């Protein structure tokens, strides 16, 4: 059996479709379909149920993926370790990160990593925390960086950074001289928030529950899908927001925004975690990046 067929099968399974698998492998959709058909003929059973444009793995497909993914990981590990032995570290590393790590914490580390290992290409997908955890669990990325953790499952978490959530407001006449606000007053002010699945939103919601409030009580004027959009919303006077202190360092230092204390909330601290799949053996490139991230933490 051609192991290339297993690689194509795993791509279709992980991407959930022939077109996305073709884009990932730089192959046409008919080519992908033909290879899957060859694999189905080899085993004498369907591996996917075709439901229009949607495909679902059959029981046989689930079994084949469970066995094949180990072969693919072993193949990748062998190739990378031989390359490292002969020529130094090289290859491609897929990682996922939630907004704050992806946009603010990791870029400087990736820059230093590239200088140390110029033959390694890091591909980083930035999304919300839930998507990062899901991608690590489904092996779409080898390494994740997120602002929340789960207590069970196949995911392994290790703290690598901390942050503080703050209430930011536009630095204008409306907020001149106001350095604190009560939760009751905050309920009436236009508020912009992150989308469901965001770690920032989840932490704020947990704190509100402790204080016997819910986010639904607030005057929410917009739900925005990124920290950059939140900052634009605040500076454009759309509303005020709870966001990362790391993300607004530039805006607060330049006087575009300012922090206002919430009297009932002393602090909103959160940690960021490295996320790995316990069932996946880390590649040499993954180990090298981990070493650099954790050495920065130790420093």
- Cα–Cα dist 25/32, whole Å: 9
Take residue 31 and report the two structure tokens written for it: 């080519």
pLDDT band at 299 (very low <50, low <70, confident <90, very high): very low
Question: What is the C-alpha to C-alpha distance for residues 299 and 293, in angstroms, rounded to an integer?
Answer: 10
- Report if pTM > 0.85: no
For residues 115 and 253, give the distance between their C-alpha atoms in angstroms, rounded to a whole number.
30
pLDDT tens digits for range 167-181: 999 999 999 999 999
CA geometry: angle at 192 spanning 190 and 198, to 5°?
A: 150
Same fold, 88-160+271-298 and 163-269: yes
Q: 22 near 8, Cβ under 8 Å?
A: no
Report angle CA 160, 195, 164 to the nearest 5 degrees: 35
Better-predicted residue by pLDDT, 10 or 298: 10
Fold of 163-269: D-Maltodextrin-Binding Protein; domain 2 (3.40.190)
Nearest to 11 by CA among 52, 93, 60, 72: 72
What's the rounded Cα separation, in Å, for the pair 17 and 46? 15
Instruction: Please tell me the class of the 88-160+271-298 domain.
Output: alpha beta
Phi/psi at 172 (nearest 5 deg)?
-130, -175
Q: How many angstroms separate the CA atoms of 200 and 33, rounded? A: 41
Token digits of residue 42 = 């080899």
How much is the average pLDDT of 68-80? 84
The pLDDT tens digits of the residues spanning 247-271 come to 999 999 999 999 999 999 988 998 9
Indicate the domain borders of the chain: 3-84, 88-160+271-298, 163-269
Query: Measured between alpha carbons, how far is residue 269 from residues 35, 65, 113, 161, 290 in Å?
Result: 50, 40, 28, 11, 24
Quote the tokens at residue 241: 């927001």
Band of the pLDDT at 86, cuts 50, 70, 90? low
Domain boundaries 3-84, CATH class: mainly alpha
């Amino acid at each position: 059996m051609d192991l290339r067929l297993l690689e194509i099968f795993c791509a279709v399974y992980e991407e959930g479709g022939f077109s996305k698998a073709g884009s990932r492998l730089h192959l046409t959709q008919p080519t992908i379909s033909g290879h899957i058909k060859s694999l189905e003929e080899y085993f004498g059973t369907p591996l996917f149920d075709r439901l229009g444009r949607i495909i679902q793995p059959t029981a046989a497909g689930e079994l084949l993926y469970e066995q094949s993914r180990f072969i693919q990981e072993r193949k990748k590990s062998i190739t990378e370790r031989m390359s490292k032995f002969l020529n130094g570290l090289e290859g491609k590393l897929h990682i996922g990160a939630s907004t704050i790590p992806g946009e603010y914490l990791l870029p400087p580390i990736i820059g230093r990593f590239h200088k140390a290992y110029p033959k390694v290409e890091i591909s980083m997908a930035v999304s919300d925390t839930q998507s990062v955890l899901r991608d690590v669990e489904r092996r779409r990325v080898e390494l994740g960086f997120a602002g929340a953790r789960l207590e069970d499952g196949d995911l392994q978490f290790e703290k690598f950074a901390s942050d503080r959530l703050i209430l930011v407001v536009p630095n204008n006449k409306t907020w001149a001289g106001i350095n604190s606000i009560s939760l009751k007053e905050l309920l009436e002010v236009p508020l912009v928030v992150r989308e469901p699945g965001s770690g920032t939103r989840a932490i704020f919601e947990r704190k509100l529950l402790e204080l016997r409030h819910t986010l639904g009580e607030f005057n929410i004027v917009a739900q925005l899908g990124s920290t950059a959009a939140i900052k634009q919303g605040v500076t454009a006077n759309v509303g005020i927001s709870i966001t990362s202190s790391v993300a607004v360092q530039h805006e607060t230092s330049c006087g575009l925004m300012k922090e206002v204390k919430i009297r009932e909330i002393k602090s909103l601290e959160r940690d960021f975690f490295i996320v790995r799949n316990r069932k996946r053996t880390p590649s040499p490139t993954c180990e090298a990046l981990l070493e650099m991230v954790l050495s920065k933490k130790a420093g």
